[in-house]
Amino acid sequence: MVKLNGPQKAAILLLTLDESHSERLFAKLHEDEIKDVSTAMATLGAIDAAVVEELCKEFSESLGATGKLIGSYETTERMLLKTLPVDRVAQIMEEIRGPAGRTMWDKLGNVSEAVLANYLKNEYPQTVAVVLSKVKPDHAARVLALLPEGFAMEVVMRMLRMETVQKEALEGVERTLKAEFMSNLARASRQDSHEVMAEIFNNLDRAAEGRIMAALEERNHESAERIRALMFTFDDLARLDGPGVQLLLRSVDKDKLALALKGASDTLKDLFFRNLSERAAKMLKDDIASLGAVRLRDVDEAQAIMVATAKDLAASGQIQLEDGQDEMIS
């Protein structure tokens, strides 16, 4: 019981119930909760009866003798089909299973960007495009910045043209990577290629972003414009309303705040100062002035932290970032 997390406990309890009851419970779960519980259920294996009984006591339910429960892909898929459309179930199960497991891309995310870039520079651009589309955008950005400029541009172009990667192609990439990193495959991503690139560009430093974006402008102006429109930058914080600015100010460490505003435009600085008390604004101005000369990289990092915090607040519905068309950026 001590080793079980929330989704695992929920999965066990759902398996103990009659499918008609489980159906109704699944129907009330959020999509992310369904994914978490389904993942736990599919990987439970054998659960001892003593654990089941203890869980039942914990939830004050009398479920009777249950023996052992077997959580499997088939059990999970059958239960999901009771409440969700077939195509949605197929998507969830593919994300759970993957062609060869769930841990490949997570492990790649822990590989040094220098090591990964050194390995990938000898691969085909299409292979590198697949890998960078699967790892986290901040890690992909660091790897992309270390690749030779011409080669990096070829990778970017292939990522922009890439649609959902076919299972066979993904398995081929896995087999190649396994020999180097001894990992398993993670779930496939269906994110739009321009959105993926926008996230990667968001995590590039200014020099790398400017260099690669300029080259992309020459090669494919339309794609460059789409990526630029999808990017959310520090300057976009100017779209925050007063309450949003105040919440962001409370959510960011004051040292990072001063460092981020050190490199901000006067307009953006004024926006933040206006949403502080006179005393707090003076203290912040003094903090900025006392910094003296700072490295651009440190300013970029602090601004990235503020942007990430704003996006987290927007995603949780605590603030809204207006784009002029009443759409929330999250």
Q: Would you say the CATH fold of 234-315 matches that of 104-230? A: yes
What pLDDT is recorded for position 108? Answer: 72
In this prediction, residue 184 carries a pLDDT of: 31
Predicted pLDDT of residue 279: 92
In CATH, the number for domain 234-315 is: 1.10.220.30
pLDDT at res. 62: 45
User: What is the pLDDT at residue 97?
Assistant: 57
Query: Which pLDDT belongs to residue 237?
Result: 87
Q: What is the 3-state secondary structure (H, E, C) of the chain?
A: CCCCCHHHHHHHHHHHCCHHHHHHHHHCCCHHHHHHHHHHHHCCEEECHHHHHHHHHHCCCCCCCCCCEEECHHHHHHHHCCCCCHHHHHHHHHHHHCCCCCCHHHHHCCCCHHHHHHHHCCCCHHHHHHHHHHCCHHHHHHHHHHCCHHHHHHHHHHHHHCCCCCHHHHHHHHHHHHHHHCCCCCCCCCCCHHHHHHHHHHCCCHHHHHHHHHHHHHHCHHHHHHHHHHCCCHHHHHHECHHHHHHHHHHCCHHHHHHHHHCCCHHHHHHHHHCCCHHHHHHHHHHHHHCCCCCHHHHHHHHHHHHHHHHHHHHCCCCCEECCCCCECC
Does the domain formed by 104-230 have CATH 1.10.220.30? Answer: yes
- Each of the 330 residues of the chain gets a pLDDT tens digit; together they read 667 887 888 888 888 887 777 777 877 776 667 888 888 888 888 888 888 888 777 765 444 444 445 566 667 777 788 778 877 776 677 666 554 444 466 667 766 777 788 778 888 888 888 888 888 888 899 899 989 888 999 999 988 887 766 666 676 776 667 655 443 323 333 455 777 788 788 777 777 888 898 899 888 888 888 887 777 778 888 888 888 899 999 998 888 899 999 888 888 899 999 999 999 999 999 999 898 888 888 888 888 888 888 878 877 778 876 543 333 333
The residues spanned by each domain of the chain are 6-97, 104-230, 234-315
